[in-house]
Structure formats: C-alpha cells, structure tokens
Chain A
Amino acid sequence: MEFTEERLSRYSRHILLKDIGIKGQQKLAKGRVLIVGVGGLGSPVALYLAAAGVGVIGIADADVVDLSNLQRQIIHFTPDVGKPKVVSAARKIAELNPDVTVVPHEEFLTAENAAAIIRNYDFVVDGTDSFPAKYLINDACVFERKPFSHGGILRFNGQTMTVIPHETACYRCVFPTPPPKGVVPTCAEAGVLGAIAGMLGTIQAAETLKFLTGAGTLLTNTVLTFDALDMTFRKISVKRNPRCPICGKTPSLVELRDEEPAVCDFSPKGAP
C-alpha cells in the first residue's frame, strides 16, 4: 500500500507506536481477517479492524438485524433492523475506512463450507453465540492450521484465548466436548451487559492486530477471564492437552462435523 499524506494522517497514531510503525501498518494493510458472527463481539472487532486499516475483512453471518441486537451489536443502527447483518456491517466499514475490502459471506459456517471460507484468511475471530459454532470454528481452524481468537460472553463475564493450532492449546484442549444439554445458558437465555461485548470484542481485536503486526505476546496458552461486576481480570495458564480430541496425541476427530446444538433452558447454580 502506498502511504499517501492522507493515509499517513489516518494511521498516524499507529505509525507512532514503535511496535507497529509504517512496517506494521503495511502488514495490517496486507492482513486478511475473517470475523464469524457480526453480533455482540463481531461488531467491535469489525469496527476496530476497519479503523486500523486491515486490508481484507471477511464477515460470515446469515442473520438479520433484530431490534434486540442493538443493545450491544454496535455496528448495527436502528434503521438497519430487518437488514442482513453482513450488509449493515459492510456499509459501516466502507464508511469508516474506504481502504478496507469487505468480503461478505451471507451464510452460517457449517461443516461443509467452513474450511473453504477459512482458507482465504490469515486469522479468524470467533464472535459466535453457540457451542456448535464455537467447536466448528476451533475444529476447522485446527484442521486448516489457521490462528484464531476464541471469545465468549455471558451476563457480566467474558473469556478469551488466542489459538495457534498445533502449537498452543486449542479450545478442545480446555473444553474437550460441548457442555451437556441444559448446563450452560446462552446470552439469549441468560442476558448479557452490552458493554461486556465491547470489552471482550476489543480484546479480540487487539489480539488480531498484534497477530498481524507481530507486536507483543499473544494470549496463547492463556485464558483471560473477567467478571465486570467487580472488574476482576484473571489469566489462567493452560497448555496443550495430550488427551485433546483434535490436537492431542491420539485425536478422535479426523474430519469436520457439526456438533449437536444443546438445548439450554435453565441457568446452573454457580454458573458465572
């Protein structure tokens, strides 16, 4: 990318950073990132990556903007209700930064299409709200050896980990199989403070930008978890699990499949 006066000005605060600079900004311009789910987490991720000048941003989502989304899905505005989320998000990204190429994938990731979509990108951000989708992203990224950021939110809590497949712990190393039915509620069932999506999404965005530029140390082999009610943040070290069903010593998962969606209809005692 040519650094015109305009671009030098647009990205000046990045260029000032010694860990980014012109070189890092060029890496961002060459970066290709897939955001799966442009909802609570995907919204801030998409906005910050677009603002940062990430060259290609893919967004995969087959959903339509609903009024109940607007409390936290900040890329979508009131007039967008009823529009496909990829259309709404693509317009905001284009307005925010014309340097960015948006690739809309107006579909949900499935065992059939995941590998082919993921393959086109350097890094994947999990912004989904279902365990089948989270496991699918993990598995597809492990099979494709594609680094990704896992993220989850609920109520006042957030949790995230960055995964470099076959090098650092994956989601299944920590949680080998999806939770049994009824054990873990989703945001739609238990609620979530809107700003929590922003807190976690911006951490995922920062990890993505660090990955693309090589700045700092990634949140690999580490789960960052926070409780916004008392603002406690905790980092828990994890390591690759030899019994991991996908990246362990004797993996039982050898091809991509969709996990059964769990029916979650109550909130467990002691859950976050």
Chain B
Amino acid sequence: MKITVNGVATAFDAAPSVADVLSADNIALKGAVSVQVNGEFVDEGGYTETVLNDGDELDYLFFLGGGSRR
C-alpha cells in the first residue's frame, strides 16, 4: 500500500500507524513534529492508534527555532 508522506508516495507492506511512518523516517523523539493525516491534526497521544489507509496523506512538520539570539 502507498501512503503519501510529506508529498512523496511511500510503500508500506501493511497498514502503518502514524508512529510507524514516523519511525520509518527515523523520527525517534516524540514531540519533535506536528502531524496531519489528510489535513487533520493528530495529537501525539494518537500516533499509535491512528492507522493509515492506502492513499492517505501524512504530513509532518518539524519545530524550527532560530532567528535572533536570546
């Protein structure tokens, strides 16, 4: 099955959870990203129970600080 992860079609053997998709992209630390599935935010508490279907789109965004020193 194919999931579009950050705009890139990605193949998975079985229906992955949000947590599976993140770990496939080596995102080990919780709280480092904001996740949307098909345009809806998924809270961190729901990463394991939210299972994706073929054709779903998952987008994740990293926190970025940066700018002026303080």
Name A's B-contacting residues (CB within 8 A).
36-42, 61, 63, 66, 69, 73, 85, 108, 126-131, 133-134, 151-154, 157-159, 173-176, 179-180, 183-188, 192, 197, 223, 225, 234, 236-239, 241, 243, 268-272
How far does the Cβ of A34 sit from chain B's closest Cβ, in whole Å?
A: 13
Interface residues of B in 23-69 (CB under 8 A from A): 25-32, 34, 36, 39, 41, 43, 59, 61-69
A59 to B43, CA, bound (A): 36
Q: Which residues on A sit within 8 Å (CB–CB) of B59? A: 236
A127 to B67, CA, bound (A): 5
With A183-B31, A241-B41 in contact, is A159–B61 under 8 Å at CB? yes
Q: Which residues on B sit within 8 Å (CB–CB) of A186? A: 65-66
How far does the Cβ of A208 sit from chain B's closest Cβ, in whole Å?
A: 15
Q: Which residues on B sit within 8 Å (CB–CB) of A158? A: 64, 66
Q: Which residues on B sit within 8 Å (CB–CB) of A73? A: 68
A134 closest partner in B (C-beta): B65
Q: List 7 A-B contacts (CB under 8 A).
A: A36-B68, A37-B68, A153-B66, A184-B32, A234-B7, A269-B27, A270-B28
Q: Which residues on B sit within 8 Å (CB–CB) of A130? A: 65, 70
Name B's A-contacting residues (CB within 8 A).
6-7, 25-32, 34, 36, 39, 41, 43, 59, 61-70
With A180-B31, A236-B61 in contact, is A153–B69 under 8 Å at CB? no
How far does the Cβ of A243 sit from chain B's closest Cβ, in whole Å?
A: 7
How far does the Cβ of A251 sit from chain B's closest Cβ, in whole Å?
A: 16
How far does the Cβ of A245 sit from chain B's closest Cβ, in whole Å?
A: 11
Question: Which of A85, A152, A192, A270 is the most central at the interface, judged by chain B CB atoms within 10 Å of its CB?
Answer: A270
With A238-B36, A241-B41 in contact, is A38–B31 under 8 Å at CB? no
**Contact of B25 with A154 in the complex, beta carbons under 8 Å:** no
Q: Which residues on B sit within 8 Å (CB–CB) of A237? A: 39
A269 to B23, CA, bound (A): 10
CB-contact partner of A39 in B29, B31, B68, under 8 A: B68
Q: Which residues on B sit within 8 Å (CB–CB) of A239? A: 39
CB-contact partner of A159 in B26, B39, B64, under 8 A: B64
**Contact of B66 with A174 in the complex, beta carbons under 8 Å:** no
Q: Which residues on A sit within 8 Å (CB–CB) of B36? A: 236, 238
Q: Which residues on A sit within 8 Å (CB–CB) of B41? A: 173-174, 238, 241, 243
Q: Which residues on B sit within 8 Å (CB–CB) of A128? A: 67-68, 70
Q: Which residues on B sit within 8 Å (CB–CB) of A151? A: 66-67
**Contact of B64 with A153 in the complex, beta carbons under 8 Å:** yes
A238 to B28, CA, bound (A): 24
How far does the Cβ of A26 sit from chain B's closest Cβ, in whole Å?
A: 30
**Contact of B30 with A180 in the complex, beta carbons under 8 Å:** yes
Q: Which residues on B sit within 8 Å (CB–CB) of A38? A: 68
Q: Which residues on A sit within 8 Å (CB–CB) of B28? A: 268-270
Q: Which residues on B sit within 8 Å (CB–CB) of A234? A: 6-7
**Contact of B32 with A192 in the complex, beta carbons under 8 Å:** no
